[in-house]
Amino acid sequence: MTAAEIDHASVAGAPVQVVRALAQFVVTHGGFATAVIERIGRYGARIVIIGEDGVWGDQVVDTMEVARAACIAAKIEIADGWSQSLMLEMPYQR
């Protein structure tokens, strides 16, 4: 993902720093990732991202819409929720 593409993400409603972090995660963990977006509280959303190598991370943003925009801008597939197969891709981490 180029800097120009990332900068364009802010126009789409996704914070540039979140898009950069997500895009870097993808590069670092195999070149492909899947995200699950969860509502947290009244005014927040958590993006849980699972890399191709099974490592996972997360980002927290203001709304579900911002979370979707960030994933789309970072070219990350968004899952429909926690399927059993997706959970099996994530090794236990302490």
For 15-28, write each residue's pLDDT tens digit.
999 999 999 999 99
From 25, 38, 17, select the one nearest 75 (Cα to Cα): 25
> If DSSP states are collapsed to H, E and C, what string results for 24-67?
HHHHHCCCCEEEEEEECCCCCEEEEEEECCCCEEEEEECCHHHH
Note the pLDDT of residue 33. 95
pLDDT over 60 (residue 1): no
Distance CA 30, CA 64 (A): 26
Question: Phi first, then psi: what are they for 51, rounded to 5°?
Answer: -75, 165
Confidence (pTM)? 0.82
pLDDT over 60 (residue 94): no
* The token pair that represents 27 in the structure block: 């590069």
pLDDT over 80 (residue 67): yes
How many CA atoms lie less than 13 Å away from 42 in the CB half-sphere?
0
Residue 11's pLDDT band (cuts 50, 70, 90): very low
